[in-house]
Structures are given as structure tokens and as C-alpha cells.
């Protein structure tokens, strides 16, 4: 719940600073979190809402959506809209932990494979679950999936 309070504090500060772009982005973050809270309440009956791990996942998804939009706007020649998406990405990433570099990602995959005792491609789900539990918000799992797959295939060969 610490992330949620950090977002709310930043929201209040943005209101005081009259920072319109920052304020709108923080409101989008809050709305996405509240949507997940409602979904969690209706599906599980959980009144507390989502925890920090889920908030990290929400923020990661928001960044990825904005990166795709910015790329599409740049390809379409709409640099003004691409810049707006980039400024939203900057605000959202303030709340995400530091991203692992490639070397750290390889080390994390190696330790997850050894921790789970994975030996073949059939164990990929266990390895990915281990990585998601430890590194949510710190790595791009779309990049990690092929890395895990190649390590598991190489290990079984």
C-alpha cells in the first residue's frame, strides 16, 4: 500500500504546484488502481484492494501502452502527441523500481532456474512465476520469456 500513498502524495503536490500534465497523469494512475480495486472486490470479495505488487504491474502496463502509443505517433508524424506520451512515461516511471540491466536479468534468470530446479521447457511456467514474484516492475517479461526459453532449451539439449 506504500505505492498508493506515494501516488496520492504526488497527486496532492501536483495540485499545489498547478502542474497540469503531471496532475492528469497521476489521476490516470489513480483511476487504473481504483479500477483494479473494484475488480478485486467483485471477484474475490477483498475489501482492501490491490497491493503493491499489483500496482507495480498496473504501472508497468501503463508504461508499455504509452511506449507503443508514442512509437505509433512518431511513425504517423504526430510528434506533439508522442512527446505527451513520453512525458506521461516519465511521471509513471517515478513510481517503478529501477529496471534491471541485461546482465542483471541474465543473473536473475539463472538464479530462478536453479531455485525452481527447472530442467526443461516444461518448467518455464515455474521459472516465470518465480521471476514475477521477485522482479515485478523491474524487468520486461516480454524480453525475459525468450531468454528463459533459450536457457531451458539449451539445458535440455
Question: What is residue 137's DSSP assignment?
Answer: T
Q: Please give the pLDDT value at position 70.
A: 95
32-91 residue pLDDT tens: 999 998 888 887 766 677 888 888 889 989 998 999 999 999 999 999 999 999 999 999
Give yes or no on whether 2-93 and 102-156 have one common fold. Answer: no
Q: Which CATH architecture has domain 2-93?
A: Orthogonal Bundle (1.10)
Question: What is residue 99's DSSP assignment?
Answer: P
Map out the domains of the chain as residue ranges: 2-93, 102-156
| pTM listed for this prediction | 0.73
101-119 residue pLDDT tens: 888 888 998 899 888 888 8
Q: What angle do CA 23, 6, 49 make, to 5 degrees?
A: 100
Q: How confident is the model at residue 157 (pLDDT cuts 50, 70, 90)?
A: very low
Cell, residue 34: 481504483
**CB burial of residue 45 (10 Å; 0-12, 13-18, 19+):** exposed
Pick the CATH number of 102-156 from 1.20.1090.10, 1.10.10.410, 3.40.720.10, 3.20.20.370: 1.10.10.410
Whether residue 139 is predicted with pLDDT greater than 90 in this model: the reply is no
Amino acid at each position: 500500500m506504500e505505492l498508493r500513498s506515494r501516488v496520492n502524495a504526488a497527486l496532492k503536490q501536483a495540485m499545489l504546484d498547478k502542474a497540469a500534465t503531471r496532475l492528469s497523469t497521476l489521476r490516470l494512475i489513480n483511476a487504473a488502481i481504483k479500477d483494479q480495486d473494484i475488480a478485486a472486490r467483485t471477484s474475490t470479495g477483498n475489501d482492501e484492494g490491490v497491493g503493491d505488487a499489483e500496482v507495480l504491474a498496473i504501472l508497468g502496463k501503463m508504461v508499455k501502452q504509452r511506449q507503443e502509443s508514442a512509437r505509433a505517433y512518431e511513425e504517423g508524424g504526430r510528434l506533439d502527441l508522442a512527446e505527451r506520451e513520453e512525458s506521461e512515461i516519465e511521471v509513471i516511471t517515478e513510481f517503478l523500481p529501477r529496471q534491471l540491466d541485461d546482465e542483471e536479468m541474465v543473473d536473475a534468470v539463472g538464479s530462478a532456474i536453479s531455485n525452481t530446479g527447472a530442467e526443461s521447457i516444461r518448467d518455464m511456467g515455474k521459472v516465470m512465476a518465480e521471476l514475477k514474484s521477485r522482479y515485478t516492475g523491474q524487468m520486461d517479461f516480454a524480453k525475459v520469456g525468450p531468454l528463459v526459453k533459450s536457457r531451458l532449451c539449451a539445458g535440455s539439449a
